Amino acid sequence: MSTLLLDGKALAQKIQGQLTEEVRILSQKAGRAPGLAVIWVGDNPASKAYVGNKEKACTKVGIVSFSEHLEADTPQEKLEQLIVQMNDDEAIDGILVQLPVPEGLNGSALTQRIHPDKDVDGLHAVNLGKLVRGEAGLRSCTPSGVMAILQEAQIPLAGKHAVVVGRSVLVGKPIGLMLLEKNCTVTYTHSQTPDLAKLTQEADILIVAVGRPEMITGHMVKPGAAVIDVGINRITDYEGNTRLVGDVDFKSVLSVAGWLTPVPGGVGPMTVTMLISNTVESFKQSIK
């Protein structure tokens, strides 16, 4: 079986190019550029890298950054006040709280403080509710990025069996709903699912988002399936070298799957692209 690699990096560049042009035209018309505020609390090193990537990509597209980096011991109340201020700030079209937040803070309550129209991460209960209802609204970035990859490769979805490994609010739950919307038959699996391999072997579309390095191996994959690896894990080998790997064991799945996303260069670059796309969408609504 020859496996087609799904190049998320190239797709991200293509979409970001289109968004750059759209932002240029809209900014001229509106007399201002779109604005995105990323609230980052504490010093989680992974968050630092994510926030840096988001800011860099936004600037490239012409979005103004209103980011705030706060100390880990910032009180919940102060953070909620900051979000309320940002909700009222007309220069800011999108707000997100980088997760996870340090212990002692309630990340979910912070997300709920964001006005649903500015919730460019699509994590507010109103936007998740709209997704459940199949209504238009801001949708979470990583699952939207996965859907864009599947669409670009013209992978058939209707009537196919999609198996989702992982049940997070950030990825697992929403991607299952998006696949259901495209008429897939969806099975959710997780850490307590017995005989996981039996289910993954039945998947025409296999979405893996569990945060366990290389746990999906070739024998767990149906020949010809589309395998989407959402995991980003930094591992250290026995020689002390570190590298990024996904939740899918790339080597053993290659040549079994029909389509496969690499790590890095697969889903990762699409997350930030969808964040930009959501910010532009929110900007468009605001200047209408």
Q: Which residues are catalytic?
A: 54, 98, 121
Distances from the Cα of 188 to the Cαs of 2, 179, 192, in angstroms?
Answer: 27, 11, 11
C-beta pairs of 101-109 under 8 Å, 24+ apart in sequence: 101/41, 101/42, 102/41, 102/42, 102/44, 102/72, 102/73, 104/73, 105/41, 105/74, 105/76, 105/79, 106/76, 109/76, 109/80
Q: Which is nearer to ligand GUN, 226 or 274 (CB)?
A: 274
Helix, strand, or coil (residue 233) = strand
Residues whose CB falls within 8 Å of the CB of residue 239, separated by 6 or more in sequence, listed in order: none
Spell out, one character per residue from 166 to 205, where the chain touches ligand GUN: x when CB under 6 A holds, - when not. ----x-----------------------------------
Site for ligand GUN in 39-58 (CB under 6 A): 50
Spell out, one character per residue from 61 to 100, where the chain touches ligand GUN: x when CB under 6 A holds, - when not. -----------------------------------xxxx-
Q: Which is nearer to ligand GUN, 117 or 204 (CB)?
A: 117
The answer to whether the beta carbons of residues 189 and 196 sit under 8 Å apart is: yes
Q: Which is nearer to ligand GUN, 36 or 205 (CB)?
A: 36
Query: Beta strand 233-236 with 242-245: parallel, antiparallel or unpaired?
Result: antiparallel
Q: Which is nearer to ligand GUN, 101 or 157 (CB)?
A: 101
Select the residue interacting with ligand GUN from 189, 271, 278, 286 (CB under 6 A): 271
For the bound state, the minimum distance from the C-beta of residue 8 to ligand GUN, rounded and expressed in Å, comes to: 15
Q: Which residue is nearest to ligand GUN (CB)?
A: 99
Site for ligand GUN in 105-164 (CB under 6 A): 121, 141-142
Report which residue type is found at 26. Answer: L
Question: CA dihedral in degrees (140, 103, 89, 276; nearest 10)?
Answer: -30
Site for ligand GUN in 9-38 (CB under 6 A): none
Which residues contribute to the site for ligand GUN (CB under 6 A)?
Answer: 50, 96-99, 121, 141-142, 170, 271
